[in-house]
A and B are shown apart, each in its own frame.
Chain A
Amino acid sequence: MTIEQNQKATREKTLATTYLELHRFGQNGDYDRALKAANRILHMAPQEEKALHCKIVCLIQQSKFNEALQTMQRNSNLSRSFYFEKAYCQYRQNQTTQALETLEQVEELDFRLKELKAQIFYRLERFSEAHEIYHDIIKNSQDDYTDERETNLGAVLVQLSDESQKDM
């Protein structure tokens, strides 16, 4: 092996080891250590999209929404597909209209984008659109959050009936 090949192999091994650490910290919910691991990877390899993705998730879990948004902005090339994370940060920063605009760039919404979109509509007081989404996701999802989701649907229905009373 040449010295160069050797260096490359070492670097790849270090990356894989750090990713393994990152994975474990993430599974344990240790976002402080996970963030450090993600930063180590990005220091070695600034183009690692997955490390950046994890970094954003860590920042969100630490409620650092503004920092997450800025980090995505600084790395707009790598973070192009982070629609969910971007819209979620905007939602939490009360940039609700912008959050909706972010989601409108996605052609086909997966379940978590739909969930977020329903919350955004609720906050924008567009209750009938929120209602439509909840109707869809409650019918088509089976996870641990059924009760909470039905609570949210209930809130939407209360607001809808308030609206129709005001109209009378």
Chain B
Amino acid sequence: MPPAMEPVPAKPLFYDLALNFVGFPSLEDKIEEGQSKQKQASGISG
């Protein structure tokens, strides 16, 4: 005879939310460096 079935708790669903926050740092300063050298302007984002 097989042993009687027993209910086991289901493994609860659990999301990896941290992965959504793996992103690039802001590169604006690096992109503007090349341009602002020519125009000593304080840009919109500067």
Q: What per-residue 1/0 map shows which CB atoms of A19-44 lie under 8 Å from chain B? A: 11011001000000000000000000
- Cβ contact of A23, chosen from B9, B31, B35, cutoff 8 A: B31
Q: What per-residue 1/0 map shows which CB atoms of B14-29 lie under 8 Å from chain A? A: 1111111111110100
Closest to B21 in A: A112
**A148 is an interface residue with CB less than 8 A from chain B:** yes
**B6 is an interface residue with CB less than 8 A from chain A:** no
Residues of A within 8 A of B16 (CB): 119
CB within 8 Å: A-B pair count: 85
- Cβ contact of B13, chosen from A12, A85, A155, cutoff 8 A: A155
Residues of B within 8 A of A16 (CB): 30-35
**A135 is an interface residue with CB less than 8 A from chain B:** no
Separation of A115 and B16 alpha carbons in the complex (Å): 9
**B2 is an interface residue with CB less than 8 A from chain A:** no
A119 near B24 with CB under 8 A, answer: no
**B37 is an interface residue with CB less than 8 A from chain A:** yes
B14 near A115 with CB under 8 A, answer: no
Interface residues of chain A, those whose CB is within 8 Å of chain B, are 9, 12-13, 15-17, 19-20, 22-23, 26, 50, 53-54, 57, 60-61, 84-85, 88, 91, 111-112, 115-116, 119, 122, 145, 148-149, 151-152, 154-155, 158-159, 162
**Sample of 10 more A-B contacts, CB < 8 Å, known A20-B31, A26-B24:** A9-B37, A13-B34, A50-B30, A54-B27, A57-B23, A61-B22, A88-B18, A115-B17, A119-B16, A145-B20
